[in-house]
Amino acid sequence: MPCYSLDGLTPVVHPTAYVHPTAVLIGDVIVGPGCYVGPLAALRGDFGRIVLEEGANLQDTCVMHGFPDSDTVVERNGHIGHGAVLHGCVIGADALIGMNAVVMDKARIGERCIVAATAFVKAGFECPPQSLVMGSPASVKRELSAEEIAWKQRGTVEYQELAKRCLASLVECQPLAAVEEGRPRMGDSGFRPKGQGA
């Protein structure tokens, strides 16, 4: 992976974390145990500190950055969807940030919250635990159900397992010229996106 020390600060990646080779880590970045960092993610610790706590995932093309002296943190088991931008904010433990959402400086997303895809969370926003946050600008819509929280947690476990799978078997290769006879499919863990069966 492109990994750069800056002003004497070198990124830290726990041995049980998986960081895709195309993700970029710069300066004061700390990636904890069991984390997953997807392709083309950018973790820029060139002003403030960037932290992924244990079991968090940061998916494809996400950006984490912050102003000087800030901490941009995804707490334990946080789940950051494709293309999200986190800037100088804290994402609480077991929370989910939807695809292409933006969370701005000094915002605090409570534990076990879900921020909907494409939401824009203004600077300084705070929400209580277990909230559904939607809109642009974002606001709290309602409390999440136990079923919704369980759905989120199952998805996060899938990414924790993906980190292990990638550490064990992901290798760069050349594509095949044609589909082989009897091509197998990826294993089925039983996880289904919300609204698509049990």
How many degrees, rounded to 5, is the angle at CA 94 between CA 155 and CA 5?
Answer: 95
Residue 182 is assigned to a structural domain of this protein: no
Residue 192 is assigned to a structural domain of this protein: no
Residue 196 is assigned to a structural domain of this protein: no
Contact indicator for 121, 103 with CB cutoff of 8 Å: yes
Chain centroid to CA 59: how far? 5
Per residue in 17-62, pLDDT tens?
Answer: 999 999 999 999 999 999 999 999 999 999 999 999 999 999 999 9
Q: Is 174 exposed, middle or buried (0-12, 13-18, 19+ CB in 10 A)?
A: exposed
Residue 162 is assigned to a structural domain of this protein: no
The domain that contains 114 carries what CATH number?
2.160.10.10
Q: What was the pLDDT predicted at 193?
A: 52
Q: What was the pLDDT predicted at 27?
A: 97
Per residue in 167-196, pLDDT tens?
Answer: 999 999 999 999 999 888 887 554 455 554
Distances (CA, A) of 133 to 88, 98, 110, 151: 18, 10, 10, 16
Confidence check: pLDDT of 152 > 80: yes
Per residue in 75-130, pLDDT tens?
Answer: 999 999 999 999 999 999 999 999 999 999 999 999 999 999 999 999 999 999 99
Residue 39 is assigned to a structural domain of this protein: yes
Total number of domains constituting the chain: 1
Residue 80 is assigned to a structural domain of this protein: yes
Give me the domain span that covers residue 116. 3-143
Residue 89 is assigned to a structural domain of this protein: yes
Q: What was the pLDDT predicted at 1?
A: 80
Residue 172 is assigned to a structural domain of this protein: no
* Average pLDDT of the chain to the nearest whole number: 94
